[in-house]
Each structure stands twice: as C-alpha cells, then as structure tokens.
Chains A and B, each alone.
Chain A
Amino acid sequence: MAGILVFVEQRDGELRKASLQALSEAKRQAAAAGWSVSAVLPGSGVGDAAAGLGAWGADKVFVADEPNLLRYSAEGYAEAVAKAAESAQPSAIFFAGTAMGRDLAPRVAAGLGVGAVPDAVALTLNGDSFNVRRPVYSSKAFAEADTAGKTPQVISLRPNVFAAEETGGSAEVVAVDGLALSIRAVVKALVVVAGEELDVAEADIIVSGGRGIKGPENFALIRELADALDGAVGASRAAVDAGWIDHSHQVGQTGKVVSPSLYVACGISGAIQHLAGMSSSKVIVAINKDPDAPIFKIADYGVVGDLFDVIPPMVEAIKAL
C-alpha cells in the first residue's frame, strides 16, 4: 500500500506543533487516497512521545532513540529518516517547514537521489502525484509545482497553514535499527535566546515595529502589545539595520516570510520587500501616521494615527476583553 512518511520533530522530548500539522495533513491526504501514514521520530528518550503519535494520525511510528540523536544532527537525523523510508517505501515524505525540517528535507532527498519541493501552502493529490502550491519571490507570486514524477516525493509544509487535528488512533511503534551515525558536524549546545520564546516563524500572532517607532527603547511598547495578544515581536528591515533589534525578528524578503492569523504592523510604511514577507497573513492591521503609506493598501484594518498614542489604549482595550 502506498503511503506517506512524516518526519516528526521534537525539542527536549516535546513534539513541535508544526510537525503535528504536517502529520495531520498527511492523514487527511492519505485517508482520501486510501494510503497509510507512518512517522519517523529521531531523538533520545522519545519512546513516550512516539506512542502518542497514533492519536495524530500515524499508523506506524519509526523511532530512532539514540543518545547521539539527543540534539539535532543533520547527518544522524537524515540517516534515521532514510532508514525509515527504506522500510516504509513511501510515495511521499513530509517535513514541517521549520528550521530543522527545511534543513533536513533537502539532505534526505539528495541522499535518496531525488529533489524536494519546499514550503507547501496547499497540496492536491492527483493519482499518485502531489501538486504543491508554494510561494515564490517571497509571496509576490505562487508556483504550482511537483517532483516531475520522481519518488519518493519529498515535500516540506509551511508551519501554521495546515490544521493539526487529533484523531485519536493508536500506532504500532518500531525501532529503527542499525544506524551507523557517523556524525561529523556535531551540535554541542542549544542556546535558548533569553526572553525570546516565541519566534516569528512559529507565531500565530505577530506585532512588528518599523522605522516609525523611532528607537530601540520603543520596542518595549511593541512587546507590550505582543504580550497582550500572546504574540511574537517582529521588525522591519529598517529597524533591524538600524541595530534596534536582532535580525532573527526581521520579517520580509531578506528576513522571515510569515503567515500568521494576525499581523499588526506598527510604524512600518510597507516597502515591497516587507509586504512580500507578510502579505499572506490572514488578517493584517496597520498603524501609521502617514495615510498614504503603502501598508494601508494591503491592510484589512488600519488606524491612521501616532502609534505612541494608539498602542497604549489598544493594550488596555485588549486586556479588558
């Protein structure tokens, strides 16, 4: 039986939300086609997490539980996925499009002698072949693409686009044996950036600041609004290049391309490179003094006004909800 193999990512034993979204989408696609779904979970001490994947749609879970796989290793994880693929013989291999998934998918594909299609925002199964809709030119355009008949079809799925759906099944868990794990590039440490738990790439709500916030100290105001909304703090290139905030916050063509359910742009005029990075957000809010700022052209809601006067009462109103 044809099937889909899904790479599942964990950090310290906790399953990543984006992986559950990819697994759920695999389940929806497989159910329609009468295919099976398997998952592969590399890590160390991840046995309990593996068993839980049945509830998210996996029929079978390949567990590569090795001390050497505690931290991400491009070489080690790729070997584990390749071994699982050798056993499962899938028609397609799905990855969540996280930093890890986007790194691993091309490595697994090249190792299997095939290409990969990154950053899917919609998938359609025609016969045995997935048609993938993906943003190109930083969402200024979309491509409909496929693997030109090559299998397995290695595809990464953009986070926060596909719904995670617990279906409540159970999975057969099998160990991936015989891994050589000749790892050359070794992750020595994972350093969590202090106070920055939510990354814009993963966030469902993003509040971004641009040149209009006037200085680094005023990111406190942006952060206040983000906190009130349980969101992440983003920034325009202008704010990053001015040195006001770390580039890991940058949204746009040379930063991160995001599609949260709510994007609030504060003091961002809306250069084409910024719009490219966030225009696929579900709801866009702009707060800007300049009524002619290009950001208003793509905003669902806008307030023409001084962000320093508008944000504080906004925070109060949200807290009062």
Chain B
Amino acid sequence: MNCIVCVASVPDTASVIKVGADGKSIDEAGIKWIVSPFDEYALEEALQLTEAKGGEVTVVTYGPARAEAALRDCLARGAHQAIHIVGGEATLGDSFTIAKVLATVLKDREYDLVLCGIQGVGTDSSQVGQMLAVLLDLPSVAIVTKLEVGDGSLTAEREVEGAKEVVESPMPALITCQKGLNEPRYAALKGIMAAKKKPVEEIDVASLGIEEGADPFYRVESITLPPEKAAGTIIQGEDDPSAAAAELVKLLREEAKAI
C-alpha cells in the first residue's frame, strides 16, 4: 500500500494579508509558512494506512526553496521520502499548470492511492486534486471525511450540502481530504531528528520541459483588500438584556431589513 501525498506550503492561517508591491501578489514579509492544514489530513490518513497495511508514504510538493520546510515537517511526522519540484512562484493559483507539473512527475511512479487536501489555504481554489485525477486517469473522490480501504478498492464518504455521499472506487485512486477524516499527529523530537536524514529528491521544474509562466491558464490582474467597514451600532445589554434584544430585532427589521 504505497501512498503519495501532495502538499502545499502556505501562509499560516493567522497571517495578516498585505498586498505586495506589484499589486498582484501578497507581501510575503513576515509570513510564516506552514503545511496547508487540509494536507495534514491527507498525510495523516496515508500514515495510518501504511502503518496498518505496510508500504511507504511519499510526500510531494511543487514550490520554491522555502517549501522544503513543509516536506521536512511531513517527514518528521512519519513520511518515508519526499519529492521537491522546485519552482512554482510564477504559477501560484494556476491549478491546471500545477496539476500538469505534478502529473508529469507522478505518472511513472508506483502508488495505490494519491491523497491531497481539499484545497490549499490561500489560493482557495480546490481544483488541483480533481485536475490531477483527470490527468493521471484515476478514479477519484473529493472532500472525503471517512475512508475504508479494502483489497484493491476503497469506500469513501464525501461531504456535500446537508448530506454525505458514499462512494466506492477501485484503486489506484485519488482522494481529497477534509477535516473530520482524522486527527493529524504532531511531529515529535525524535521524528524531527530522523527527518533530517530522510531523502528529498529535488527536481527542477525546467527539467520537466515546462517553462513556468510561458503558457498560463490563470492570470491575476490585481489583488486588493476588502474595504474597511464603518463602525457598527453597539447596544449595551448587560443591565437589561431583554430591552437590548428587542432593540436589536427592531434594528434588524427596520434599519437593516435583514429579517
């Protein structure tokens, strides 16, 4: 049971976002980079599967030099080896190009299951997993919150609005992982030490015959911040909560016309 886990290095979710000097990207000064939180569920699921059934976990990322820290984090949590496709600054958010790069590297590898997070936090596109499945011609299930792997097949629960779809698929397959699937482990000191010695295969994206930015499928014209909100109406409700509640409902009805 060999698993490939695709991860992205993204800004910490607590980051304050500022627009960069070019007006098309974010200012990366002071940003702490982490493994995209949804990718942690993908990694944890792969680790649990290989612990139960044998086999190895390979983590892969497509990103600049700093993304190696994300791979080391995954290795520290128990992944066996890593692939770092170096590049990606010119293709941020271009899901189709990212999927093509990943597919080019993964197509000749051996695996039973490819796992991705449902989306990279930040670009929030939620597209790379599905596109990769198409390019690798794999059956796939997105937004998985429960997984059972049998002999050559899997059963997954997929989250949809107000319901769950129960999906059966042969393997090899690809899934995208959602919160609820498992509880991701943290790296222990021993794992962090061991991770330093684990192999990271570096692949320059140019060596794949892909010229970044030459043929984009997604183009950002500008990044802007939402307008500042005007101060709201605050009602003091500590002394007379009933009167405050009544006033709030009246405002929502008559002024905001929201109810």
Do the two chains belong together in a single complex?
A: yes
In angstroms, Cα B141 to Cα A122, docked, is 29
The interface-forming segment of B52-60, B66-74, B213-221 is: B213-221
Bits for B171-212, please: 1 = Cβ < 8 Å to A, else 0: 001000011100000000000000000000000000000000
A262→B258 contact, CB < 8 A? yes
Please determine whether A106 and B130 come into contact, CB atoms closer than 8 angstroms.
yes
**Which residue of chain B has the shortest Cβ distance to A282 in the bound complex?**
B258
Complex contact A255–B241 (CB within 8 A): no
Given B160, B252, B258, which contacts A99 in the complex, CB threshold below 8 Å?
A: B160
Across the two chains, which residue of chain A brings its CB closest to B249?
A317
For residues 108 through 163 of chain B, which have their beta carbon under 8 Å from a beta carbon of chain A?
Answer: 121-128, 130-131, 133-135, 139-143, 145, 155, 158-163
Interface of B is mostly: mixed
A301→B219 contact, CB < 8 A: no
Please report the C-alpha to C-alpha distance between residue A192 and residue B157 in the assembled complex, in whole angstroms.
12
Judge whether A220 is part of the interface by a CB distance below 8 angstroms.
no
Contact of A115 among B97, B163, B253 (CB under 8 A): B97
Say yes or no: is B11 at the interface (Cβ < 8 Å to chain A): yes
User: B137: nearest residue on chain A (CB-CB)?
Assistant: A184
CA distance A310 to B246 in the complex (A): 9
A119 CA / B222 CA spacing, docked (Å): 16
A-B pair count, CB < 8 Å, reads 280
- Is A254 in contact with B237, judged by CB distance below 8 angstroms? no
Tell whether A226 is near chain B: CB-to-CB under 8 Å.
no
Determine the main DSSP class of A at the interface with B: mixed
Contact yes or no, A202 B127, CB < 8 A: no
Question: Which of B159, B219, B242, B250: most chain A Cβ within 10 A?
Answer: B219
Are B180 and A305 neighbours in the complex by a CB distance under 8 Å? no
Give Cα A146 to B123, complex, Å: 14
| B170 surroundings in chain A (CB, below 8 A) | 184
Which of A148, A283, A310 is the one whose CB lies under 8 Å from B258? A283
B17: CB under 8 A from chain A?
A: yes
Chain B residues, CB < 8 A from A119: 124-125
Q: Which of B13, B161, B222, B244 contacts A98 (CB 8 A)?
A: B161
How many residues of B are counted as interface, with CB atoms below 8 angstroms from the partner's CB atoms? 86
Across the two chains, which residue of chain A brings its CB closest to B157? A191
Instruction: Kindly supply a per-residue 1/0 record for chain A positions 192-206, scoring 1 wherever the CB is within 8 Å of any chain B CB and 0 otherwise.
Output: 110011110110010
Contact A105/B127 with A146-B219, A262-B252, A299-B232 known, Cβ cut-off 8 Å: yes
CB-based contact A190/B249 at 8 Å: no
Residues of B with C-beta under 8 A to A191: 163-166
B234 touching A198, Cβ below 8 Å: no
Q: Mark B93-107, 1 if CB is under 8 A from A, else 0.
A: 111110100000000
User: Nearest-CB distance from A261 to chain B (Å)?
Assistant: 6
Q: A115-B96, A247-B178, A310-B248 are in contact. List 7 more A-B contacts (CB 8 A).
A: A78-B134, A106-B95, A111-B134, A137-B26, A298-B232, A316-B245, A321-B259
